[in-house]
Amino acid sequence: MTAQLIDGKAFAADVRAQVAQHVKTLKDAHGITPGLAVVLVGEDPASQVYVRSKGKQTVEVGMNSFEHKLEADTSETDLLALIDQLNSDPAVHGILVQLPLPGHLNEDLVINAIDPAKDVDGFHISNVGLLGTGQKSMVPCTPLGCLMMLRAHHGSLSGMDAVVIGRSNIVGKPMAQLLLGDSCTVTIAHSRTKDLADVVRRADIVVAAVGRPQMVPGDWVKPGATVIDVGINRIEKPEGGTRLVGDVDFDSCAEVAGAITPVPGGVGPMTIACLLANTLTACCRANGLEEPQGLTA
C-alpha cells in the first residue's frame, strides 16, 4: 500500500475531545448543558445500534441525551406532536429523527416539521437552501466529517477537481455543495453517468457514496488522488462469515491513491462526532454565544 491512511477514528476522537471541552466551558461559564433528542420509530436493528451509540457518545461529551423510542405503528399525528414538543423544549438544542422511517410515515413532512435551528442533521429544506446559497446553516454530519478530514489533509481545497459518486440528499448533494463552497470544481456522478471511470480518473478528490460494495477499482483512481469512502456494506467472506467493506476497492485503490479512508475506521466515526459538534453549535446559536471554531463548515 502506498497511500497515506486517513484515520477517521483518531480524527473523531479529537473532534469529541474539542466538543467536550466546549461543553465544559458552557456549563462552567453559563450554566448551560447542550441537549440532543433522538427519535427512533420502530425496531430496525441497524437503527437501534446507531441510536444507542449516539446516546452513549452524547453523554460521554457531557451533553444531555433524550431518547424517544416509538412503536413501529406510531401515527404521523403522534410523531408530529412529539416533534412540536421537542421544538418548544428549551433543554433540547438538537433533534434527530432516525431514518429510514416506517413506510406509512412521510419523511419529508416529518423532517420539515423540525425547527431548522434544532435540525442537527441539516436535512430541513431551510438548511438545504441556506447551505446551497452559502449562508450559515446546519450541515449534514457525514459530509461535514468528510470535509473536515479533507481540509486537515490538504489545507486549502481551492481549485481541486472533485468527484462525488452518489446523489443522495444525506451525503452526495450536500457533499458537493461543501466542496463547491471550498472552491473545488465539482462533478456529481451517479448510476446514469456515462464513462464513470473517465470522470473519476480526472479527480484530485473522490468521494464515494453510492452504497455499492467495492465499486470503485484502483485503475479508476488518478495517481496521488485523495479517496474518501463513505460506503459501509456488509459482504460474505469466501471462507464464511461477513465483513464490512466500503464503496471503493480498498486494496487496489490504496496502491494508487495519495491518501484514503479505511472502512471501518474512516468516515463512519466522524458522522456521530459531527452530530455532537452540530448539537454544540445549535446550543451556542440558541443562546447567542460565539460558535466553536473548526467544528462547522
Enumerate binding residues for ligand GUN (CB under 6 A): 96-99, 121, 141-142, 170
| Closest distance to ligand GUN from the beta carbon of 35 (Å) | 17
CA distance between the termini of the chain: 31
Residue 154: other Cβ atoms inside 10 A: 16
Q: Catalytic: 121?
A: yes
Q: Which amino acid is at 151?
A: R
Minimum Å distance from CB 98 to ligand GUN? 5
Nearer residue to ligand GUN within complex by CB, 37 or 283: 37
Question: Cell 470503485, residue?
Answer: 216
CA dihedral 186, 190, 192, 196 (to 10 degrees): 70
Per the residue annotation, which of 98, 119, 182, 249 is the catalytic one? 98
What one-letter code names the amino acid at 190?
Answer: H
Per DSSP, the residues of 4-17 read EE--HHHHHHHHHH
Shortest distance, position 103 Cβ to ligand GUN, whole Å: 15
Q: Tell me which residue of 190, 167, 180 sits closest to 131, measured CA to CA.
A: 180
CB of 64 to ligand GUN, least distance (A): 19
Asked if residues 200 and 189 have their Cβ atoms less than 8 Å apart, the reply is yes
Contact criterion met (CB below 8 Å) for 93 and 279: yes
Out of 57, 118, 119, 121, the active site residue is 121
User: What is the C-alpha to C-alpha distance for residues 49 and 61, in angstroms, rounded to an integer?
Assistant: 19
Residue 141 or 206: the one with the smaller Cβ distance to ligand GUN is 141
User: How many residues in total does the chain contain?
Assistant: 297
Residue nearest to ligand GUN (CB): 99
List 54, 118, 173, 222, catalytic entry = 54
Task: Name which of 177 and 200 has its Cβ closer to ligand GUN.
Answer: 177
> What are 263's three cell numbers?
472502512
CB of 144 to ligand GUN, least distance (A): 10
Select 102 or 258, whichever has its Cβ closest to ligand GUN.
102
Q: Would you call 98 a catalytic residue per the annotation? A: yes
Cβ pair 232, 244 in contact under 8 A:
yes
Q: Which is nearer to ligand GUN, 111 or 179 (CB)?
A: 111
Whether 146 and 175 have beta carbons less than 8 Å apart is answered as yes
User: What residues act catalytically?
Assistant: 54, 98, 121
